[in-house]
Amino acid sequence: MSQQSVVVGTIGSDAHVVGVTLLEHALEEAGFDVRNLGAQTPKETFVDVAAETDADALLVSSLYGHAEQDCEGLHEALAARDADPVTLIGGNLSVGQSDTAAVERRFEQLGFDHVFDTETELETVVDTLRADLGIDEAAKEPARIRS
């Protein structure tokens, strides 16, 4: 089986790269083929790379609090390119992020499949992605019905 491919990076003007680098290493160790776009990546680049590589998942990291503006139209642009990766976003997604449930709802309304806060463990992100992509952790391949 070929590796599931994921695209990761920080979006917009966000220059924080430590979290996305740690995420890259955790995903690679979990067996994913990771394309790290790095910091300050325009959403158009996320869309282009996801479409060109037929990515299974797109993971956006943002710590500077302006992710909502940066992600506006991301899912529509993916659809326009016939790209349909699982999308996850995490970090400090809005300035004064005190109502996590409201922030989560807003990003789900923008089209994200999963929204994580700054306290989320990397293992949780990896496990969530495995579940979404149907990867059986023990076998490291798509889960199959066992008789």
Domain with 107, as residue range(s), is: 5-142
Residue 60 lies in a domain: yes
3-state secondary structure of 46: helix
Annotated binding site: 13-17, 61-63
Annotated binding-site positions for adenosylcob(III)alamin: 13-17, 61-63
Q: For this structure, is 75 an active site residue?
A: no
Which residue of the set 14, 70, 75, 114 is catalytic? 14
* CATH number for the domain harbouring residue 90: 3.40.50.280
Half-sphere exposure of 80 (CA within 13 A, CB side): 8
From 16, 66, 113, 127, active-site residue: 16
The answer as to whether 75 is a domain residue is yes
pLDDT tens for the chain, 147 residues long, are 468 999 999 999 999 999 899 999 999 999 999 999 999 999 999 999 999 999 999 999 999 999 999 999 999 999 999 999 999 999 999 887 678 899 999 999 999 999 999 899 999 999 999 999 999 765 444 433 333
pLDDT for position 3? 87
Q: What is the DSSP letter of 94?
A: B
Q: Do 5 and 36 form a contact (C-beta atoms < 8 A)?
A: no
Query: Which pLDDT belongs to residue 146?
Result: 34
In a domain, 68, yes or no: yes
Domain count, the chain: 1
Active site residue 14: yes
Q: 84 lies in a domain?
A: yes
Does 33 map to a domain?
A: yes
Strand residues in 1-147 grouped as ranges (E): 5-10, 33-36, 57-62, 86-91, 114-116, 135-136, 141-142
* Within a domain: 147: no
Residue 137: the pLDDT is 63
